[in-house]
């Protein structure tokens, strides 16, 4: 015969005085013999709470704490290298246009033929000045004047491409098949030049006129898309497309404070910046690899040609290093942001 413990429900031999599981004293029940012993269900052991996600979260926090010390240095040196890459890229264009102007002068070319080359050189000078004003800005931020000069560079580039396309259609000059300046390819059609010009004008407008915290970024994004819209086609320029996408993402996330100012805003902006930085730096690596792979000029070339090749290779090498540091920095920023729900100190 067996009986059931009224406290824990365990089966106990009928002659047992104490429950072997919980220690209940059955003699206390003899004081009320009329009350039947009702079997109690056996309690199930408590399932321990899963600790997997807690461990993963703690691991992410520990990793973020380790990488956070490297973020300021990566951001600082990556930015310096990027500015140097832009300077060398601009110097390349200045030297190349100097060679063209010298050749056109020797051939006695008309003033109309000189015009696009001179405009291209002027745009390169503006492009050269762009990094100077952002050299000492904190983190990955860009000085407003640098933005203005950069956009003005593309405005001049759009005008230059329009003139070159018109001259090409009139058989004054013959265009190479895949020459790009600041990531935008030269086309024989006049349409790309007009589109680039419109994009630059729209973006410039937002630096002089305040259309509102929501409208201004939208106009900027449309302008950026128009500037880089011709990075596809026969002369597909993948790295330029990535630059345009990265800048557009930055602008999109810049719109968020216009309609959301919650506690998660720093995290959202930081995530957007890190994603944009990854895409942009991948474009830098692709550009750098294509530049350092360029064939050297023929032997006996003039000093300007050799110098332009040297600055071109230097810009490519700097672009590769910048891209590697940038990707590493972006990943570290991403880890920190996900762990601490805010932007790191850069």
What integer pLDDT is reported at residue 235 of this predicted model?
45
What integer pLDDT is reported at residue 252 of this predicted model?
84
- Tally: H helices and E strands in the chain: 9, 4
What integer pLDDT is reported at residue 231 of this predicted model?
60
CB atoms within 10 A of CB 57: 12
What integer pLDDT is reported at residue 33 of this predicted model?
46
Whether residue 289 contacts residue 283, with contact meaning beta carbons closer than 8 Å, is answered with no
b vs e for 186-215, b when ≥16 Cβ sit within 10 Å of the residue's Cβ? Answer: bbeebebbbbbbbbbebbbebeeeeeeeee
What integer pLDDT is reported at residue 88 of this predicted model?
92
CA-to-CA distance for 89 and 239, rounded, in angstroms?
15
Over residues 186-205, the pLDDT tens digits come to 777 788 889 889 999 998 88
CA-to-CA distance for 237 and 247, rounded, in angstroms?
16
Which 8-state DSSP code applies to residue 258? G
Running along the chain, 346 residues long, what does each successive block of 10 average in pLDDT?
Answer: 71 72 68 48 50 67 85 90 90 89 82 84 91 82 85 90 76 54 73 88 87 83 82 55 82 82 86 90 88 84 85 92 93 89 82
Structure tokens at 71: 């973020």
Structure tokens at 267: 């995290």
Over residues 322-343, the pLDDT tens digits come to 999 999 999 999 988 888 888 8
């Amino acid at each position: 015969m067996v009986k059931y413990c009224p406290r824990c429900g365990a089966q106990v031999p009928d002659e047992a005085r104490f429950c072997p599981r919980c220690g209940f004293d059955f003699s206390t029940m003899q004081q009320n013999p009329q009350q039947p012993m009702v079997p109690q269900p056996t309690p199930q052991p408590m399932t321990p709470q899963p600790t997997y996600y807690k461990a993963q979260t703690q691991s992410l926090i520990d990793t973020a704490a380790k990488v956070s010390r490297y973020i300021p240095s990566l951001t600082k040196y990556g930015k310096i290298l990027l500015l140097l890459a832009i300077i060398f890229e601009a110097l390349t264009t200045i030297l190349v246009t100097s060679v063209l102007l010298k050749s056109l002068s020797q051939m006695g070319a008309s003033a109309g033929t000189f015009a696009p080359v001179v405009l291209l050189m002027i745009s390169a000078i503006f492009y050269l000045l762009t990094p100077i004003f952002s050299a000492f800005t904190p983190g990955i931020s860009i000085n407003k004047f640098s933005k203005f000069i950069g956009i003005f560079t593309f405005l001049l580039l759009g005008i230059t491409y329009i003139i070159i396309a018109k001259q090409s259609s009139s058989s004054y000059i013959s265009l190479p098949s895949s020459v790009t300046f600041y990531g935008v390819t030269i086309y024989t059609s006049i349409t790309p030049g007009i589109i680039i010009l419109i994009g630059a004008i729209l973006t410039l407008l937002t630096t002089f006129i305040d259309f509102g915290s929501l409208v201004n970024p939208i106009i900027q994004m449309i302008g950026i898309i128009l500037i880089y819209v011709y990075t596809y086609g026969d002369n597909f320029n993948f790295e330029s497309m990535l630059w345009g996408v990265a800048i557009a993402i930055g602008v999109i996330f810049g719109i968020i404070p216009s309609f959301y100012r919650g506690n998660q805003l720093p995290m959202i902006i930081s995530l957007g910046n890190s994603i944009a930085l990854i895409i942009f730096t991948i474009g830098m690596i692709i550009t750098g690899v294509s530049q350092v792979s360029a064939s050297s000029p023929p032997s006996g070339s003039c000093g300007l040609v050799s110098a332009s090749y040297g600055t071109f290779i230097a810009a490519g090498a700097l672009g590769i290093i910048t891209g590697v540091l940038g990707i590493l920095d972006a990943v570290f920023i991403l880890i920190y942001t996900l762990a601490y729900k805010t932007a790191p100190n850069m």
